[in-house]
Chains A and B, each alone.
Chain A
């Protein structure tokens, strides 16, 4: 280790208050390695490597990912957009799906390869969405691959279970498979206003079909600015359906895709939920057509991409914590 570098590190970091950072100018990758080694040995943390200096945090930093519950940690859950076309054209759809949307289908071979990478990356559960996944007549083949690997949830409007699709639905495994069915209100008015005339009745019918066939279901509502007292009414409706708390999802519309109003979201303000589409890997499924939320163009190698996402999340959270110590006295 260079004596000069060591002295510079001791001087700079020694004069830095615990919980704050200091930039130490460095010359080349060897000095970066030296600084990282010194920081580790002396109870400090290299926060970021900039083009020339390295930013050192005085003290050890707890990993912000460890602070999240296991199911919220990036990479625990993998979302896959099997396709983007849909029988509906909801006016708040976060990815602008519709019958005429570009389909962007992930075919079965590629799907199986993604599942293989997900297993290798220690993904614990799979979420399939679209578009409407059941627009794919051979979705059942993907579901067999997915459920054999990990607990799998499919987001669906439950309106496609007729004819051949119904026959294939009947034959699906019940284990490791949950249908998350969209239902935005307790009565038809609000639901149909956003999702299309007649869609409420068909969703209710679909909930009945899935239940009768012995599938585990979850019911999910997306509420916009006009929701009013819908949330309370929905909870009562869910009670009538005898849904357990973990079978109910109520969330707000995000200002993404077709939605011109709703919650503002960005990489900086969302805990990432890694999401694969035919176009690449995204920070979160609620923003899978927003260019600022795209992480990489190719899903392979998935473990590397998940690590990249974790690092970005970690860096941002740590930077926020450092900011806390810079506030003027109240």
Chain B
């Protein structure tokens, strides 16, 4: 590991907004006892490799990237913090309002649109929840959109492609992250008004700041304490929190990763790329 004072945080550049988000977070930490800088990766797999190699101290990981990190470290990796919104993340199945579809069982025999193969919310977990309900691939007509592979669904692109299939009559429902659904509803889009949630999953955990156990706690503790001190009521903090999609940083809930762990086992999803 490089000898440096600053904590180096890795994040994936899923959109151009990532730059002002992390510049804002870096500025927030500049006057603290745990100053930080950041580096951006083009995909989560590259970021996990960099964390394991010690090129970065902390990785802002999706839930899929976290499980891979955990497995690659023999279960010793540590999750430091998460967003409040990551603790109550869900997948929603969205169809056209008035379709008569209601509940996961009603999806048997239907066209189900799914997002990218590395998206926890739009592909891996929906398939797991369907399987758990006794609905296999053979019981559905799957419509697949591998639109943003490497970003683990962060761009929302494959969610939107799946939703578009519903709007265009090419699928009965789309499995998407609740964050995408809430963003669309907030926009007042006319097409969204013609859609409705057919089923919503149980909550599960999503992103977290992941570290190796070898990173000394005297480096992580002040960093986490300063992170948790970000305050929605302070305008300059709020700007960053809104861009990143949260109101408060929280400690992670590791139980919330159980469903994804089971899903990745069941679907034989690699711990690597």
Contact = CB atoms under 8 A, between A and B. Distances in A.
Interface of A: 17-20, 72, 225, 252, 254-255, 261-271, 316, 319-321, 323-330
Interface in B146-199: 152-157, 160, 164, 167-168, 177, 179-180, 183-184, 187, 189-196
Instruction: Output the residue of B97, B119, B190, B194 with the most chain A CB within 10 A.
Output: B194
Q: Is the interface of A mostly helix, strand, loop or mixed?
A: loop
B2 interface: no
Given A320-B189, A323-B187, A269 B194 contact: yes
B68 interface: no
A17 B155 CA distance: 14
A249 B68 CA distance: 46
Given A18-B16, A320-B160, A329-B245, A269 B155 contact: no
Nearest to B154: A330
A316 B14 CA distance: 24
Given A17-B17, A323-B187, A329-B244, A264 B194 contact: yes
The 10 closest A-B pairs by CB, nearest first: A328-B245, A268-B190, A17-B16, A264-B97, A327-B156, A269-B194, A268-B191, A269-B191, A264-B194, A263-B98
A20 B18 CA distance: 14
A263 B97 contact: yes
A269 B192 CA distance: 8
Given A268-B191, A269-B167, A324-B155, A330 B16 contact: no
Interface in B227-248: 243-246
Given A327-B155, A329-B154, A268 B189 contact: yes
B157 A324 contact: yes
A88 to B, nearest CB: 23
B96 A330 contact: no
A269 B152 CA distance: 27
A17 B98 contact: no
A267 B190 contact: yes
Contacts of B190: 266-269, 316
A140 to B, nearest CB: 33
Given A264-B194, A316-B191, A325-B15, A269 B96 contact: yes
B16 A327 contact: no
Contacts of A20: 16
Contacts, number: 103
A266 B245 contact: no
Question: In this complex, which of A72, A319, A320, A328 has the most chain B Cβ atoms within 10 angstroms of its Cβ?
Answer: A328
A264 B21 CA distance: 38
8 contacts: A19-B16, A252-B99, A264-B193, A264-B196, A316-B190, A316-B191, A320-B189, A323-B187
B99 A263 contact: yes
Given A266-B191, A268-B190, A330-B207, A324 B97 contact: no
Contact of A330 (B153, B194, B195): B153
B107 to A, nearest CB: 15
B155 A263 contact: no
B121 interface: yes
Contacts of B16: 17-20, 325
A264 B177 contact: no
B152 A330 contact: yes
B256 to A, nearest CB: 14
A320 B191 contact: yes
Contacts of A321: 160
B206 interface: yes
B81 to A, nearest CB: 14
B63 to A, nearest CB: 9
A38 B192 CA distance: 34
B194 A265 contact: yes
B210 interface: no
A320 B187 CA distance: 10
B195 A261 contact: no
A257 B96 CA distance: 18
Contacts of A327: 155-156, 179-180, 183, 245
A199 to B, nearest CB: 23
A323 B183 contact: yes
Interface string B115-136: 0000101000000000000000
Given A262-B98, A324-B157, A330 B193 contact: no
Given A268-B191, A328-B179, A263 B154 contact: no
Contact of A323 (B62, B184, B246): B184
A330 B118 CA distance: 13
Given A268-B192, A320-B189, 20 more contacts: A252-B99, A252-B100, A261-B98, A263-B97, A263-B98, A264-B96, A266-B193, A266-B194, A267-B190, A268-B193, A271-B168, A316-B190, A325-B15, A325-B16, A326-B183, A327-B183, A329-B21, A330-B119, A330-B156, A330-B177
